[in-house]
A and B are shown apart, each in its own frame.
Chain A
């Protein structure tokens, strides 16, 4: 079982560039979410989705867009990259359409914006 797959694992962007971080899960999970992890800040929720066609903002949504056209995929788009978006990004999914069950995380994407 693949679980939650994130691509790419590493990325370097120039300020102002845009890109999409991919996240796919093969467990038919309804709930998917994106987090960023910064030193001393823990995991902060960027956006989440309770099912296909439904997305909502988390704690730190500015500068990011998401869409959920299928149950499997939940891409995260950086519209115009800024150095403040240098971080490790994690995608996760959960069984139900809520975050109230065990989350399965991807391996993470380390993004550097120069």
Chain B
């Protein structure tokens, strides 16, 4: 069965520091999709990125970058030069091509301290 583990429950860093959020997944499918979502204090859920299992290229979007490594079943998220507005709960998620369900990790609460 598919599984997503976000081992870091809560992280605090000082503004401008870099921070990496870990995501480890389990799947038996060869075709699958990985996601990151952000939930700021206001409560809405915002899509950040989607990756399919055949695309291991790392992605960078401004201060955000994602490192996908099939060898370690990880899809980690790094924020460079963090800002207070990055404070949120971040969820990693996995869906399999052979299934119609998406499974979320338990989330990592990130505090950026001014």
- A: which residues have CB within 8 A of B? 31, 33, 35, 40-45, 48, 50, 56, 58-59, 88, 90, 92, 97-105, 107-108
Contact = CB atoms under 8 A, between A and B. Distances in A.
Given A42-B107, A98-B95, A104-B47, 18 more contacts: A40-B9, A40-B106, A43-B104, A48-B101, A50-B100, A56-B100, A59-B101, A59-B103, A90-B45, A97-B100, A100-B97, A101-B50, A102-B35, A102-B50, A103-B45, A107-B44, A108-B43, A108-B44
A102 B47 contact: yes
A101 B50 CA distance: 7
Nearest to B96: A100
Contacts of A92: 45
Using C-beta atoms within 8 Å of the partner chain, give the interface range for chain B: 20 to 34
Nearest to A90: B45
Contacts of B64: none
Given A100-B97, A108-B44, A41 B102 contact: no
A99 B101 contact: yes
B2 to A, nearest CB: 11
Contact of A107 (B35, B37, B43): B43
Given A40-B106, A99-B95, A45 B101 contact: yes
Nearest to B52: A100
A50 B95 CA distance: 14
Interface of B: 6, 9, 33, 35, 37, 43-45, 47, 50, 52, 91, 93, 95, 97, 100-107
Chain A at the B interface: mostly helix, strand, loop or mixed? strand
Contact of B100 (A35, A40, A44, A98): A98
B55 to A, nearest CB: 13
A101 B35 CA distance: 9
A45 B106 contact: no
B50 A41 contact: no
A100 B104 contact: no
B105 A42 contact: yes
Given A44-B104, A45-B103, A100 B44 contact: no
B102 A99 contact: yes
A57 B107 CA distance: 22
